Structure 1
């Protein structure tokens, strides 16, 4: 099962999000996810099994508890895919940023009052003297 097949399920994505914050006991994962998605503990266990078998999660036994942790290795496939999209969008977003800056600069210039010329200043001074 590929990374996108595994992460295509919202329950498994949520489990991955929880495990990204650190190791959790299976019971805690089942309680949180079961409550959020209204699914049973055995259903959550099936999702944990899929994550474990696909390499997204590791499990270690600590006494009577099973502790799950995220293994980020399979996320490399997702990162590679996203990197290809990022390259596509980076150029377009850079061009958009340039156009937005150009438009803002033109708006600022249009809002600035025109400077008075020397002839206008002299004319006004001359008119005040003659009145």
Structure 2
């Protein structure tokens, strides 16, 4: 599934389009389903060589950070296939009714142990977030 349609509070009809190239999610676009030319936000992804060998849903983590409602669907796995690589960085472009357009970039660093990801470090402006991942035998 590369497209998700949903309604927020029985009022806002939204649509999410996902574009994959070579097993990598390259573009995310959130629009008004009734007026697709009205874009709420877009994300363009850049990749390094970190394989997603654990099938992690990083997209859910990313989207839930700035899209209150739509991210919940991805965290529950409703968003469809996941990228075969993990992003190195992404650029967000948002359109706000009051403030207009604004953009920002977020970068990722991954630490591994025995070929498994043990830590995800996310840098967003001056903020740094770290997620540690633990495994049981």
Q: Which has the higher helix share?
A: 1
Larger radius of gyration: 1
Structure with bigger RCO (C-alpha 8 Å, 6+ apart): 1
Q: Which has the higher strand share?
A: 2
TM-score normalised to structure 2 length: 0.23
TM-score normalised to structure 1 length: 0.24
